[in-house]
Structure 1
Amino acid sequence: MTHTPTNPDTPFTGSTPSDADRDAQAIANDVVARVLARAGTARAEGGTVHTDHDGDQLDLEERSALRRVVGLSTELEDVTEVEYRQLRLEKVVLVGLYSGGEAAAAEAEVSLRELAALAETAGSQVLDGLLQRRQKPDPGTYLGSGKAAELADVVAAVGADTVIADTELAPSQRRALEDIVKVKVVDRTALILDIFAQHAKSREGKAQVELAQLEYLLPRLRGWGESMSRQAGGQVGSAGAGMGSRGPGETKIELDRRRIRNRMAKLRREIAAMAPARVTKRLERKRHSIPNVAIAGYTNAGKSSLLNALTDAGVLVENALFATLDPTVRRARTDDGRVYTLADTVGFVRHLPHQLVEAFRSTLEEVADAALLLHVVDASHPDPEGQIAAVREVLSEIPGVEDVPEVVVLNKADVADPAVVGRIQRRERRTVVVSAHTGEGIAELKALIADELPRPDVEIDVVVPYSRGDLVHRVHEAGEIDAEEHLADGTRLRGRVDPSLAAELERAAV
């Protein structure tokens, strides 16, 4: 006589759950317990500590005012009969899968901890979590039927109003899981898009986020039965309904899809129209021979803090994921007087939604035009190598980035494990260890940037008329001057400049 497994998700073996199954459950429970122990601190663990380089942080008060208030719904009533999935993340339960083994469980813990940080950044409170060992997601409900029923019990017990899955769910999976747990189900992609929508400030940033949201929404529109129908048909049955009642033959959901596609096309045109302004600025920098240094890296790795430490830019610094969305470009100067720019880009994350990569492609192209890439890594993170791989995966989709020299900047050295720092230094070809908070290593990083920036290589010995002081200024900004002498006819300059400036100097020379 055979026995049916007590857990429907356990493969049928003809016996009750094995010791291995019980061990897997114990591992999953331990992972969830550790994640929940840190919940509530993932977004602002230790608080956000600012330095003198960060300035007044005037944007921080405005950002704090956007935090959602527990008990205050931000979900708009559905007035269009289409489920637009406005997020109301207040009290949430996290759910994830791992394929088996301690290494997979450790990877799942890092991912689930990051999901908790994302949820808290979006303004929610993490109440509980569930982790299941499963070789691949259930095509119907993501979790198996038994674990989904267990999730429903957890949701009811803790009073959660949202479940967040640590993956991107298919529309059918999300709907099926919602039918079981009886609360809203949100996936990792929707959560990231929600954070981006909260934090975008510039016109271009808002347009890019809206485009990504609509691309995510389009296949997930959900109708409400016959109320969706807008078809009248040829011979209408009701009296007096004949001519003028025959509609376009589209249901309401089809009309909404068409509106969304039209809106997406308009947003793409707007984003394309904004691109020339950034291209013009890049060309202007090239014309004046001002090299660009791009700062890229995982979200919350300390990119904005590093920018402030290098330039005193005073940009927003917050211990939260995706605090910076709009790219910031600031001028800096090497110790020998050469001018360059530093560009802070949007942070990356594991499984960054492809909709966002596409929408922000024009912004990320700043990296491809850089003379140097500073790849900032949080050396205190539990899995810094995983973060490095995630960033490089996204950057590989941007043409031209592979030709940009890269330096791995190991940030937060003041709280990092020296053994981890040493391990990364052995793996990576070029690294520099810094702490944007304490200032450790900043001088070395500035020296490295100065060494890596292209140097002018055309020798000049010209007399520039006093009426062309602009050219003298450009030589001071972008060239290297060995000698400067004021003569009756103009300013004599000896040194090195780039070829285009050398040509202009020759044309203007006395």
Structure 2
Amino acid sequence: MSAHPSGDEQADPARDVVARILARAGTALQSTDAAPTETDGEQLDVEERSALRRVTGLSTELQDVTEVEYRQLRLEQVVLVGLWSSGTAEGAEISLRELAALAETAGSTVLDGVLQRRRTPDPGTYLGSGKAAELADVVAATGADTVVVDGELAPSQRRGLEDIVKVKVVDRTALILDIFAQHAKSREGKGQVELAQLEYLLPRLRGWGESMSRQAGGRVAGGAGIGSRGPGETKIELDRRRIRTRMAKLRRQIDQMAPSRATKRASRHRAEVPSVAIAGYTNAGKSSLLNRLTGAGVLVENALFATLDPTVRRAQTPDGRAYTLADTVGFVRALPHELVEAFRSTLEEVGDADVLLHVVDASHPDPESQIAAVRTVLADIEGLTDTPEVLVLNKADIADAEVLTRLRSAGPHVVTVSARTGAGIEHLRDVVAGLLPRPAVEVDVVVPYVRGDLVHRAHATGEVLAEEHTAEGTHLQARVDAELAADLADALR
């Protein structure tokens, strides 16, 4: 039985929320607020990213709802579905607006939406039979080919909803996985996304009648000779086994890539170069901030999950000390568990950091919930508990002054900046410089001119307090790491 509200006074808020979302549809990819600036470089990846947009006219309407998992996922004309179980209309609007932005980032067009007011999801169809029938009418009227649900569906719920609406139903987790699959560029990133997709797919294989029950025996089962003949496996069993085999292979490949990352981090540690990690909610402006601080020229796009592969660049404090800045994948509310596990290697950059820059979109309607969502994921990262966190309130040029005032009490180190205009960036550099670990050994030496490399290392990795060129060499007063102090002592012998 449907639990949709009775009476116009209850239904109107849900309709109003959907109407406001549709009025803003298209803004996720077309807004000029986050247009690249001169500090973002040439943005060479923009053309390549645009080439990944989906081709229109490839319908996924299901005439026969069997073996749907083996059809290619194409999101074109979509209808959004949300469940308003608690909270206010504003909270439901924020969640549905984020779903619309996710759908647009995946390359689809949002046509309409349905918002259901009920305490708990219906175990059979998620919405309830009445609202599901209403959704089927909306899908038929708009010509949509996909329904996107703002939540994670059980296999039975998705099957029940597909049986009614007769088009493919995609939940929020599958949508995020699809965006990741489009945006991953590195071999490791692609492997991590595929592993997450297979983990999500494995319990959701489905089919009826002969499509999954037919059996393969003898040579068809993959073997030959004695011991391989007989009833064999059903198609669904065979597919599950193939998926598990592929997952095991991917895990081995990802594990084999770990030493390379560890070697790069170890080389930075040996050189005593401090590290700063940039983390935060998706589309908060992390890549723009990296470009502003380092001139890295990494891709900047007003879309969710524009960055998947971590970027590490070198930067300098105002007093000349070198450190590295790492841009990491963005987080999102209810980030799929499969992705958290698959991208744990990416998050190692955060765990090894000396300072964490937690970037927040201060112009967002509910920045506190984004801060909480990010901190929930960060709490699971080993070695991060003692790392100082700087809360960077980005997009201050378009944020509400009252919101900025409220957020300044969200942590011990809070800096207000605009990566687009450059406001507050110098203050942020000073805060980072104050939190970075300082070299432990203070030296007062005259370095021979033939050992200029040691002076260069002192400038690059240490803190030079005073420098004077004398007849004997460079008189250097500095704070350096223990390894460089030992090298300086050897040079004077």
Partner in structure 2 of residue 113 of structure 1: 97
Residue type at the aligned position of 2:271: H
Residue type at the aligned position of 2:42: D
Partner in structure 1 of residue 115 of structure 2: 131
* SS across alignment from 1:496: strand
- For 1:462-477, list aligned pairs within 5 A: 462-464=445-447, 468-477=451-460
Is contact 2:287-2:298 (8 Å) kept? yes
Report how far residue 165 of structure 1 moved.
0.3
- C-alpha distance in 1 between matches for 2:226 and 2:246: 31
Is contact 2:34-2:420 (8 Å) kept? no
Partner in structure 1 of residue 436 of structure 2: 453
Is contact 2:59-2:145 (8 Å) kept? no
- For 1:200-219, list aligned pairs within 5 A: 200-219=184-203
- C-alpha distance in 2 between matches for 1:486 and 1:38: 63
- C-alpha distance in 2 between matches for 1:52 and 1:87: 37
**Residues 464/46 of structure 1: CA separation in 2 closer, same or farther (3 Å cut):** closer
- C-alpha distance in 2 between matches for 1:450 and 1:243: 71
TM-score, with length taken from structure 1: 0.90
Residue type at the aligned position of 1:194: D
**Residues 399/248 of structure 1: CA separation in 2 closer, same or farther (3 Å cut):** farther
Partner in structure 2 of residue 65 of structure 1: 51
Residue type at the aligned position of 2:12: A
**Residues 484/384 of structure 1: CA separation in 2 closer, same or farther (3 Å cut):** same
Residue type at the aligned position of 2:459: H
Is contact 1:293-1:371 (8 Å) kept? yes
- C-alpha distance in 2 between matches for 1:85 and 1:220: 13
Deviations 1:327-358 (A, max 9, x none): 00110111211001110000111111111110
Partner in structure 2 of residue 384 of structure 1: 367
Q: Does 1:88 align with 2:74?
A: yes
- C-alpha distance in 1 between matches for 2:287 and 2:239: 39
Partner in structure 1 of residue 221 of structure 2: none
Q: Does 1:428 align with 2:411?
A: yes
Q: Does 1:46 align with 2:29?
A: no
Report how far residue 229 of structure 1 moved.
4.1
- Uncovered stretches (5+) of structure 2, i.e. residues with no partner: 219-224
Partner in structure 2 of residue 223 of structure 1: 207
* SS across alignment from 1:409: strand
- C-alpha distance in 2 between matches for 1:348 and 1:97: 22
TM-score, with length taken from structure 2: 0.93
* SS across alignment from 2:239: helix
Report how far residue 277 of structure 1 moved.
1.2
For 1:480, which of 458, 463, 480 is the aligned residue?
463
- C-alpha distance in 1 between matches for 2:242 and 2:217: 22
Partner in structure 2 of residue 199 of structure 1: 183
- C-alpha distance in 1 between matches for 2:55 and 2:268: 44
Is contact 2:106-2:175 (8 Å) kept? yes
Partner in structure 2 of residue 418 of structure 1: 401
Q: Does 1:274 align with 2:265?
A: no
Partner in structure 2 of residue 504 of structure 1: 487
Q: How many residues align?
A: 484
- C-alpha distance in 2 between matches for 1:58 and 1:384: 31
**Residues 379/483 of structure 1: CA separation in 2 closer, same or farther (3 Å cut):** closer
**Percent identity of paired positions between Structure 1 and Structure 2:** 75
Q: Does 1:9 align with 2:18?
A: no
- C-alpha distance in 1 between matches for 2:226 and 2:312: 61
**Residues 392/316 of structure 1: CA separation in 2 closer, same or farther (3 Å cut):** same
RMSD: 2.4
**Residues 48/71 of structure 1: CA separation in 2 closer, same or farther (3 Å cut):** farther
Report how far residue 248 of structure 1 moved.
6.7
Of stretches 46-55 and 480-489 in structure 1, the one that deviates more from structure 2 is 480-489
* SS across alignment from 2:381: coil
- C-alpha distance in 2 between matches for 1:309 and 1:232: 59
- C-alpha distance in 2 between matches for 1:152 and 1:67: 27
Partner in structure 2 of residue 146 of structure 1: 130
- C-alpha distance in 1 between matches for 2:472 and 2:421: 51
Is contact 1:200-1:326 (8 Å) kept? yes
Report how far residue 227 of structure 1 moved.
4.0
* SS across alignment from 2:158: helix
* SS across alignment from 2:279: strand
Report how far residue 410 of structure 1 moved.
0.5
For 1:308, which of 291, 310, 314 is the aligned residue?
291
Of stretches 272-281 and 407-416 in structure 1, the one that deviates more from structure 2 is 272-281
**Residues 405/398 of structure 1: CA separation in 2 closer, same or farther (3 Å cut):** same
Residue type at the aligned position of 2:321: R
Deviations 1:92-130 (A, max 9, x none): 100011124xx3322111010000000011011101000
- C-alpha distance in 1 between matches for 2:291 and 2:34: 15
- C-alpha distance in 2 between matches for 1:215 and 1:226: 25
Is contact 1:322-1:346 (8 Å) kept? yes
Q: Does 1:320 align with 2:306?
A: no
- C-alpha distance in 2 between matches for 1:247 and 1:424: 67
Is contact 1:162-1:183 (8 Å) kept? yes
* SS across alignment from 2:299: coil
Residue type at the aligned position of 1:37: A
- C-alpha distance in 2 between matches for 1:298 and 1:258: 36
Report how far residue 443 of structure 1 moved.
1.0
* SS across alignment from 1:33: helix
Report how far residue 466 of structure 1 moved.
5.3
Q: Does 1:184 align with 2:168?
A: yes
Is contact 2:292-2:422 (8 Å) kept? yes
Is contact 1:301-1:376 (8 Å) kept? yes
- C-alpha distance in 1 between matches for 2:293 and 2:228: 67
Partner in structure 1 of residue 377 of structure 2: 394
Is contact 1:456-1:480 (8 Å) kept? yes
Report how far residue 419 of structure 1 moved.
0.6
**Residues 82/474 of structure 1: CA separation in 2 closer, same or farther (3 Å cut):** same
- For 1:360-371, list aligned pairs within 5 A: 360-371=343-354
**Residues 113/227 of structure 1: CA separation in 2 closer, same or farther (3 Å cut):** closer
- C-alpha distance in 2 between matches for 1:129 and 1:199: 26
Partner in structure 2 of residue 172 of structure 1: 156
Is contact 2:310-2:328 (8 Å) kept? yes
* SS across alignment from 1:190: helix
